[in-house]
Amino acid sequence: MLNMSTRDGVYNALVEVGQENKDIVVLDADLCESTKTVGFKNKFPSRFFDCGIAEGNMVGVAAGLSAVGKIPFAASFAMFVAGRAYEQIRNSVCYTNLNVKIIGSHCGFSSAEDGATHQCIEDIALMRATPNIMVVSPCDYVETLAVIRAAVKYKGPMYIRTSKFVSESVNKLPYLESFDLKKGVLLKEGNVVGIVATGVEVYFALKAAEFLEADGISVTVLNIHTIKPLDAELILSVARNVKFLFTVEEHSVIGGLGDAVASLVAEEAPMFVKKLGIKDEFGKSATALELLKLSGLDEVGIYKSIRQVVSEREVSGSFSTMF
Amino acid sequence: MDVDIEFQLKKLSLKLRVDILKSIYLAKSGHPGGSLSCVDILIYLYKYVLNVHADSLKDENRDRFVLSKGHGAPALYAVLAELGFFDSSELLKLRKLGSMLQGHPNMNTTPGVDMSTGSLGQGISAACGMALGLRLNESSARVYCLLGDGELQEGQVFEAFCFAAHQKLDNLCFIVDNNGLQIDGTIEEVAGFFNLKEKFKAFGLEVLDVDGHNFSDICRAFEKAKQIKGKPSIILAKTRKGEGVYFMEGQASWHGKAPNGKEYELAVGCLREKLKELEGV
């Protein structure tokens, strides 16, 4: 089992694609050791540009590089690139529809002990509300390799959300071959509970599913790595096949994967949807796992939230008496 | 500068001022003051500096221009139309539904526009990226970027100056349309700069002073900028907001207001008089 983070995937993937494609350039804002663009920096120093602590300029420079044919990846903490440089992403990258890849690392609680100023829980909301940009949130190291590779082939603005959190890889390496940016991935199929997860929460959702299954509850787990455009077909097919739908993300419950899925389901296949995510409040200093537990986003938290809903609502169900 | 060339440029300057005012008048909104202050620089750039033509827009080795003060769009559009990048009848549709000419420049709808701008402080960073990318491509093309002086209040501009100087982007030339006015008044009143020239020098730029309405002066500055090695250059162009139309000159109130019918007629009459005077008729 691979025990690595999605940012570790960035390290290896950028070196790989940089070897193959000389038009790839990488920009960072004084955080290359943290975002893991440092691998590319060491391997291809003439195509790596440290822009210093000036994220707004970095995003504009990326837009200009793209306008003359380069394929720029611009990285910083999600907070400082999707947050601080939001308007530059909107006006210089999305409005222009330029081929710029933004990497927002340390998403959600993964900057942990740094505290709330560094914990970005709003980036998915900001990015998915903006036209033209694809929003991608890989779930593990292996999937990040696939996402970066696909990002080079895809022409257009893309936001890639990565984490510092180290977890067991859900996917295995041959997965790279079958990866499709626009398609979600069914990891487990059942007909009572559907869990739609993204990012590191895919790992926790799978663990929670094991607990639910031990209670006799049949579970579907769907990995949605690309939040925009959403794989509506797959999400709706899951929704139509289960009784309760849950979304899980390390992001605010406002504007993220949960809202994207709930909006889709409300319009196309109305049913019960519960959003599991970070409450509408700021985080604090602690380990990432402690913060995830506080928000009910570890496997136990997810299991408890789902079980509560199922036991409250499934009065006449065959398994309800088990609780 | 050749006397005849200067005469033709002065004539063109008056003609394009009428085009600018007409497009803004018909649009019923827009930015006449800052368009009239930068149009002479744009005329010289497009006619004599940039190796860009309507039929060479796909040439990767063409020079690039970024109008970081995107609200000067009517001036850019008038110049592009004059040089055949699109039909001049498009100018009459400025800012209207379905027009290729958006309120601020859009690179995806308007032939000849190299970068979409409008949000101040952003075009300059894109210009830095273009200059860096062209250098990586081993292209001899140069990048020019026009900024407003009010725009310099955006912190991103100084981030970009640092970046350009650090990367030694000598294929990059900034021009500041230094008309001294912004929406809320004079720059000194609103958020004064104190000694821009020293600031630019301190940021590692080669500073060139010019009168932004004097073509000989503008010509000399661009020639000199091309010779600068190892650092970006910046042309600090002293200009007058509303230049050419007496009741708009030096008036912050004409920053973002369209002339009404009477004002438009008055302005055009004034520019035609100047043209007659120039031609010695």
What digits encode the pLDDT tens for the residues B97-148?
999 999 999 999 999 999 999 999 999 999 999 999 999 999 999 999 999 9
Report domain extents, chain A: 3-168, 185-316
> Given 3.90.550.10, 3.40.50.970, 3.50.50.60, 3.40.50.300, which CATH number is that of B3-279?
3.40.50.970
Which one-letter amino acid corresponds to residue A34? S
Report domain extents, chain B: 3-279
Of B123, B133, B155, the CB nearest to A68: B133
Contact B162 A63 (CB under 8 A): no
Distance CA A87, CA B67 (A): 18
Residue B76 and residue B103 in contact, taking contact as beta carbons nearer than 8 Å: no
Within 8 A of A66 by CB-CB distance, chain B residues are: 129, 133
Catalytic residue numbers of A, as ranges:
55
From first to last of its 281 residues, chain B has per-residue pLDDT tens of: 899 999 999 999 999 999 999 999 999 999 999 999 999 999 999 999 999 999 989 999 999 999 999 999 999 999 999 999 999 999 999 999 999 999 999 999 999 999 999 999 999 999 999 999 999 999 999 999 999 999 999 999 999 999 999 999 999 999 999 999 999 999 999 998 789 999 999 999 999 999 999 999 999 999 999 999 999 999 999 999 999 999 999 999 999 999 999 999 999 999 999 999 999 97
Distance CA B133, CA B116 (A): 17
Burial class (CB in 10 A: 0-12, 13-18, 19+), A126: buried
Phi, psi values for residue B13, rounded to 5°: -60, -45
Measured between CA atoms, the residue of chain A closest to residue B145 is A64
Handedness of CA A241, A245, A250, A253 (dihedral sign): positive
Of B64, B114, B122, the CB nearest to A60: B122
Within 8 A of A81 by CB-CB distance, chain B residues are: none
Contact A60 B124 (CB under 8 A): yes
> What topology does CATH give the domain A3-168?
Rossmann fold (3.40.50)
DSSP letter string over A20-67?
H-TTEEEEESS-HHHHTTHHHHHH-GGGEEE--S-HHHHHHHHHHHHH
**pLDDT for the residue A323:** 41
Q: Where are the beta strands (DSSP E) in chain B?
A: 64-67, 143-148, 172-178, 181-182, 185-186, 206-211, 233-238
CA angle B152–B157–B161, rounded 5-degree value: 120
Of A59, A65, A91, the CB nearest to B132: A65
Distance CA A279, CA A276 (A): 9
**pLDDT for the residue A315:** 60
Contact A63 B126 (CB under 8 A): yes
Cβ pairs bridging A and B (under 8 Å): 112
pTM above 0.90, yes or no: yes
Pairing state between β A134-136 and A158-161: parallel
If one looks up domain A185-316 in CATH, what number appears? 3.40.50.920
From first to last of its 323 residues, chain A has per-residue pLDDT tens of: 689 999 999 999 999 999 999 999 999 999 999 999 999 999 999 999 999 999 999 999 999 999 999 999 999 999 999 999 999 999 999 999 999 999 999 999 999 999 999 999 999 999 999 999 999 999 999 999 999 999 999 999 999 999 999 999 998 877 677 899 999 999 999 999 999 999 999 999 999 999 999 999 999 999 999 999 999 999 999 999 999 999 999 999 999 999 999 999 999 999 999 999 999 999 999 999 999 999 999 999 999 999 999 999 876 554 544 44
**pLDDT for the residue A1:** 63
Which one-letter amino acid corresponds to residue A216? G
